[in-house]
Chains A and B, each alone.
Chain A
Amino acid sequence: MKILVCISSVPDTTSKINFTDNDTKFDTNGVQFVINPHDEYSLTRAMWFKEKQGASLTVVSVGNQSVETTLRKALAIGADDAIRINAEATDGYFVAQQLAAVVKNGNYDLVIAGRESIDYNGGMVPGMLATLLNYNFVNAVTGIEITENKAVVTREIDGGKEVLETELPLVVGSQKGIVREEELRIPNMRGIMMARKKPLNVAEPISAEAATEAQNFEKPAVKSACKMVDNVDELIDLLHNEAKVI
């Protein structure tokens, strides 16, 4: 089985969100970029298929040279090789088209992408990718087992979960829950050393156009101070008469 894990390099979850150039660009100053959390869960699950079922494991990211640090970390965690598509990830449709070209080229059986990236939160790449490839697709995946070309996939739904059966080739949009928290791996020294020797191939993008463009950004209005309340009677009164939510 050939697995491709799609990785987005995102600002660390504690980052301060600021913008520059008249609020048209995200301010990367002082921001540390990490593997998108949902993608890290995906990669961890993919490692299980590599170690237990002999799958090959490639990671891919669309981005400029700066995403190589994140790809090296994925290699240090255990991916066999990495691909960087040398282009700015301007919108989800553009990224999906780039990834589709990679999947077709490499004939991957299982593609795991995160449900969404925690920066732009588009949540569109996995579904668009599956559609462009005409692969089966399941989103919000919290569990996956593969036997030969059959996949049993658990998906989160509003208020619960469902179990689905389908076949490879398959694209899944995965999320927290696909592995347990304690299964996440911190790269060790040996992994980091080995990662340096693993192939990180840079490919030029295919010609494709972005369908959307972020023009500028704005931060939510500064909210007024919290009203401190002494007792529950007062709270109920405020929620009923002032906030009108009960």
Chain B
Amino acid sequence: MSILVFAESSEGKFKKVALEVTSYGKKLAEQLDTNLVVVSAFAENTDPLAKHGAERILMGNSDALKTSDVAIWADFIVAAANQENAEVVIIDSSSNGAYVAPLVAAKLQAGFTSNVVALPLSTSPFVVKRNAFSTKAFSKTEIKTSKKVIGLAKNSFGLFESPVQSNVEDFSPDLGVGKIKRTSVDKATDEVSIADAEIIVAGGRGLKSGDNWGMIEDLAEVLGAAKACSKPVSDLGWRPHTEHVGQTGKQAATNLYIAIGISGAIQHLAGVNSSKVKVVINTDEEAPFFKAAEYGIVGDAFEIVPKLVEKLKEFKAENG
């Protein structure tokens, strides 16, 4: 028996979510008194995993994995789960993690819960706490099958170091040929994505036009933040759909979310509740967003944001 973690790598490196799932897997293995096995592919340096408790790492390198067919990736993880007789498989909630996890669950005939935010509340019965109703509530959900798949919500569990010497084994199960081909990809490589961001700067309809986004860009740049927006802003074409946060858009689970000229409609808040600290800048002191925020400034974004950028530059120069 074991706990299996899928640690996704991107261009050979591990993102924070990979270390979150590894940390979670390590703690769960302790809770269940069993071993942690991590499965991954194409990663060169596995030290970050070792630092978070990955004693055994199964590393895939085969050409079969150079596919855009998610079903092949699911087979890869399932092969690892079967080889290791995994009781629980843990997968992150990045766009790839959320893509592959349900397939893994169906193939293993395992119960699956996504958006899990904590270690199991009990292991017999196996009950986990997850976000539901677009983060407006938590649900305590029992997984009733003998095999289980957990989708871990981003930035909810935290990172825990427990350094070990890790053993990396080549893992090349037989995999079929993918039936989905990628013909093009369009990805902003020089920008932080909402999924990876520690800080997000978001603009709303209060900014009046897409032409006014320069100051949002400046603020995002000095903070090393990702840019986001409210739904009407993307509907109006001021900003791309990929930046839309909320119930029908992306989930922003960051440490800091700065909302500028966003009223804080319930559908928008549904996408930001998981962020730890929210700052609101709005001319209307009655804007509902203030009720959901930690810090607020009532005032005109066109005055406040440029000042904030300037002062943050000074702050960064002093504090490195």
Contact = CB atoms under 8 A, between A and B. Distances in A.
Interface of A: 11, 13-14, 17, 19, 26, 37-38, 91-93, 96, 118-128, 130-132, 136-140, 142, 152, 156-167, 175-177, 181, 210-220, 223, 226-233, 235-236, 238-240, 243, 245-246
A231 B311 CA distance: 11
A72 B297 CA distance: 46
Interface string B242-268: 101001110000011000000000110
A204 B116 CA distance: 32
A124 B144 contact: no
A138 B69 CA distance: 8
Interface residues of B, number: 92
Contact of A124 (B105, B135, B293): B105
Contacts of A240: 315, 319
A227 B103 CA distance: 44
B184 A217 contact: no
B40 interface: no
Given A164-B68, A226-B290, 11 more contacts: A13-B266, A119-B133, A123-B151, A136-B71, A157-B96, A165-B181, A165-B182, A214-B140, A226-B292, A245-B277, A246-B223
B114 A123 contact: yes
Contacts of A230: 297
B295 interface: yes
A246 B199 contact: yes
A118 to B, nearest CB: 6
Contacts of B267: 13-14
A6 to B, nearest CB: 14
Max chain A C-beta neighbours (<10 A), residue from B106, B182, B319: B106
B102 A131 contact: yes
A229 B295 CA distance: 7
B242 A14 contact: no
A212 B142 contact: yes
A235 B248 CA distance: 30
A213 to B, nearest CB: 5
Contact of A218 (B137, B186, B248): B137
Contacts of A177: 241
A207 to B, nearest CB: 15
A177 B127 CA distance: 35
Contact of B102 (A37, A127, A166, A215): A127
B196 A158 contact: yes
A241 to B, nearest CB: 11
A220 B106 contact: no
A246 to B, nearest CB: 7
Contacts of B69: 136, 166
Nearest to A124: B102
Contacts of A123: 98, 102, 114, 151
B76 to A, nearest CB: 14
B277 A214 contact: no
12 contacts: A93-B105, A121-B131, A128-B106, A152-B183, A158-B196, A159-B191, A163-B182, A213-B141, A215-B127, A229-B295, A232-B311, A236-B315
B195 interface: yes
